[in-house]
Amino acid sequence: MAINRRIHPAARRGISVTRPRKSVAMTLLAALFLVYALVPIAWLVINSTKTQPDLFSTFGFSFGHSFALWDNVVATFTYDDGIFVRWLGNTLLYVGLGAGGATLLATLAGYGLAKFRFPGRSAYFAVVLGAVAVPGTALAVPTFLLFSQLGMTNTPWAIIVPSLISPFGLYLIWVYTVDSVPTELLEAARLDGAGELRTFFTISIRLLAPGIVTVALFAIVATWNNYFLPLIMLSDPDWYPLTVGLNQWSEQAAGVGAEPIFNLVVTGSLITIVPIVAIFLFLQRFWQSGLSAGSVKQ
């Protein structure tokens, strides 16, 4: 987006980037998206206040005969000796080590690729770009077979180690580094006698902060929502993350010996999305500046 030096006709009419023209159609479309995004959450909030008989007998978007939110929350945390708390802890562990590690590795590698010249760099570039295109789900079964040969299935490592790899994050940091860390600055630091690691941790990492937060958010969301990999890797419910655990609760409603606990599934789902919503709200300003990285040529 090159900045036009001549005054644009629209600007003369008092319309600018900070005061855009209002479009009724766009507003309606955005409102529609808002409703589309909020309706499931509204359903979740309303239905987490119902007992199971109310869930079965009352309309989905109205409250039930009783208000059982607190009872449901207590039951969710205490059902089956508090297995939900364990699942929550597992998810936090996988997110902390998996997403944290993925962000660190992606930052180091992306920065290195952007600022250093070495043989095989373009080959590396091609591999990373190719890896971005492969969905993690497609790799789940090969990953499982690999881990089973290593004897690491049904351990937390089976979830954490694959989560450490984030080609997309690497690519994002790479692009972001090219735009936001001036090579001249690094040369100045080198002239002043700073080592590469010191330059990275004292100068570059600050310039990269918005990019790092963006990558961290992507990684956190991906790890928090990770379902398929833990589903096939883990057989011991003590290591389940929330996603797989909630699914097990939901499946409990089927077959011989069925014990439906839909009220706990609904309340558990609500509790599961609260932290991720909080993280988004807290980090969204970094998210916005990170997303626009590379879109403006300086």
Partner 1 sequence: MTRSTRTTRKTAAALAAAALTAMTLAGCGSGDGPGAAAPAGSAADLDAALEEGGELTYWTWTPSGEAQAEAFMEEYPNVTVTVVNAGTATEEYTKLQNAIKAGSGAPDVAQIEYYALQQFVLSESLLDLSGYGFGDLEDTYTASTWSAVTGGDAIYGLPQDSGPMVLLYNQEIFDQFGLAVPTTWDEYVAAGEKLHAADPTKYITNDAGDPGFAQPLIWQAGGRPYQTDGTTVTVNLQDEGTKLWADTWNQLLEPGLLADIPTWSDDWWKALSDGTVATIVSGAWMPGIMEGSVPDGAGKWRVAPLPSYDGSAITAENGGSAQSVIKQSENPALAAAFLRWLNSSEESVNVFLENGGFPSTTAQLNSPEFLAEAPEYFGGQQINQVLVDASKNVATGWQYLPYQVYANSVFPDTVGTAYTASSDLNAGLQAWQEQIVSYGDSQGFSVNK
Contact status: 55 vs partner 1 (CB under 8 A)? yes
Three-state secondary structure call for residue 247: helix
- Compute the least distance from the CB of residue 279 to partner 1, in Å: 23
* Window of 93-101, 139-147, 164-172, 201-209 that interacts with partner 1 by CB under 8 A: 139-147
Q: DSSP letter for 63, please.
A: -
- Compute the least distance from the CB of residue 216 to partner 1, in Å: 27
C-alpha dihedral sign at 269, 159, 283, 134: negative
Contact status: 251 vs partner 1 (CB under 8 A)? yes
Contact status: 41 vs partner 1 (CB under 8 A)? no
For 142, other C-beta atoms within 10 Å of its C-beta total 9
Nearest to 131 by CA among 111, 106, 155: 106
C-alpha dihedral sign at 46, 270, 139, 212: positive
Question: For partner 1, which is the closer residue by CB, 46 or 266?
Answer: 266
Q: State both tokens at 118.
A: 């070495």
* Window of 53-61, 103-111, 113-121, 290-298 that interacts with partner 1 by CB under 8 A: 53-61
Q: Which of 254, 277, 278, 296 binds partner 1 (CB under 8 A)?
A: 254
Sort 202 into a burial class: Cβ within 10 Å, 0-12 / 13-18 / 19+. Answer: exposed
Contact status: 140 vs partner 1 (CB under 8 A)? yes
Q: Are 147 and 153 in contact (CB under 8 A)?
A: yes
* Window of 30-38, 160-168, 226-234, 278-286 that interacts with partner 1 by CB under 8 A: 226-234
From residue 177, how far is each of 67, 106, 109, 126, 129 by CA, in Å?
A: 52, 12, 11, 18, 17
- Rounded distance, CA 65 to CA 72, Å? 15
Q: Which helix (H) or strand (E) holds 34?
A: helix 24-47
Q: Are 199 and 189 in contact (CB under 8 A)?
A: yes
Contact status: 45 vs partner 1 (CB under 8 A)? no
Contact status: 258 vs partner 1 (CB under 8 A)? yes
Question: For partner 1, which is the closer residue by CB, 56 or 70?
Answer: 56
- Compute the least distance from the CB of residue 83 to partner 1, in Å: 9
Q: Which of 41, 141, 188, 277 binds partner 1 (CB under 8 A)?
A: 141
Q: Which of 18, 22, 257, 295 binds partner 1 (CB under 8 A)?
A: 257
Residue type, 91: T
Q: Which of 231, 276, 279, 283 binds partner 1 (CB under 8 A)?
A: 231
Question: What are the residues binding partner 1 (CB under 8 A)?
Answer: 52-53, 55-57, 137, 140-141, 144-145, 148, 151, 153-154, 228, 231-232, 234-237, 247-248, 250-260, 262, 265-266
